[in-house]
Chain A
Amino acid sequence: DAGITQSPRYKITETGRQVTLMCHQTWSHSYMFWYRQDLGHGLRLIYYSAAADITDKGEVPDGYVVSRSKTENFPLTLESATRSQTSVYFCATPGEGTDTQYFGPGTRLTVL
């Protein structure tokens, strides 16, 4: 009964490399969300998905790509990482039968 999990929990990479952050949910909810957390900004929505193969941009989508081939997975890819993408990334989904978003444990990404 994990709910929502993210991997890796910590990642260090270099500028220009491609990085993929994974998110997995066990509730099979149709909606999933990616946020980034930065000091002084709170959390900001990057991308979200309403169902498998349906994705849409949030507030800060530039530099990110998402896919959703299966309902339970929602990977976030940084195609060419930049230092400004150093952040903590959270995946979220509404729990079973609720309107409340539940968050994964986060991935702390450092781009050198």
Chain B
Amino acid sequence: GNSVTQMEGPVTLSEEAFLTINCTYTATGYPSLFWYVQYPGEGLQLLLKATKADDKGSNKGFEATYRKETTSFHLEKGSVQVSDSAVYFCALGSGGGADGLTFGKGTHLIIQP
């Protein structure tokens, strides 16, 4: 079956540091990959996505590249801000929205000023 493994936190960084959150997956076929973000007390928001190998998703300075050869979808940002403090979830899905998503356990990111 499908599974997603992401680094567990909390991850604590200083403002303006470089961020990488690792995500690897196991899936049959060619899933779509997603990063969702959850700010304190809120629901999940889509951060970015990629639907095929070598696609790069990007949004708000965050990027992730769909790497089929390493089954990875690592999240990166060049310079984090305090406002990026949140929980980040890597997820995969297939079936064009017809299947439920498989989520990683989430990574709690804390950015210190």
Binding site for B on A (CB under 8 A): 29, 31, 33, 35, 40-45, 48, 50, 58-59, 90, 92, 94, 98-106
Contacts and interface: CB of A to CB of B under 8 A. Distances in A.
A104 B42 CA distance: 10
B2 to A, nearest CB: 10
B100 A33 contact: yes
Contacts of B97: 29, 31, 94, 98-101
B45 to A, nearest CB: 8
A92 B100 CA distance: 9
A11 B42 CA distance: 16
B77 to A, nearest CB: 21
A32 to B, nearest CB: 10
Contact of B93 (A29, A59, A101, A106): A101
B105 A40 contact: yes
B82 interface: no
Given A99-B32, A99-B51, A100-B34, A43 B93 contact: no
Interface residues of B, number: 24
A98 B96 CA distance: 8
Given A99-B96, A101-B93, A45 B43 contact: no
Contacts of B104: 42
B25 interface: no
25 contacts: A29-B97, A35-B100, A35-B101, A41-B105, A42-B4, A42-B104, A42-B106, A43-B89, A43-B91, A43-B103, A50-B98, A58-B100, A92-B101, A94-B97, A99-B51, A99-B93, A99-B97, A100-B34, A101-B93, A101-B101, A102-B46, A103-B36, A103-B45, A104-B43, A105-B43
Given A90-B44, A100-B49, A42 B100 contact: no
Given A101-B97, A106-B43, A42 B49 contact: no
Given A41-B105, A50-B98, A103 B93 contact: no
Contacts of B4: 42
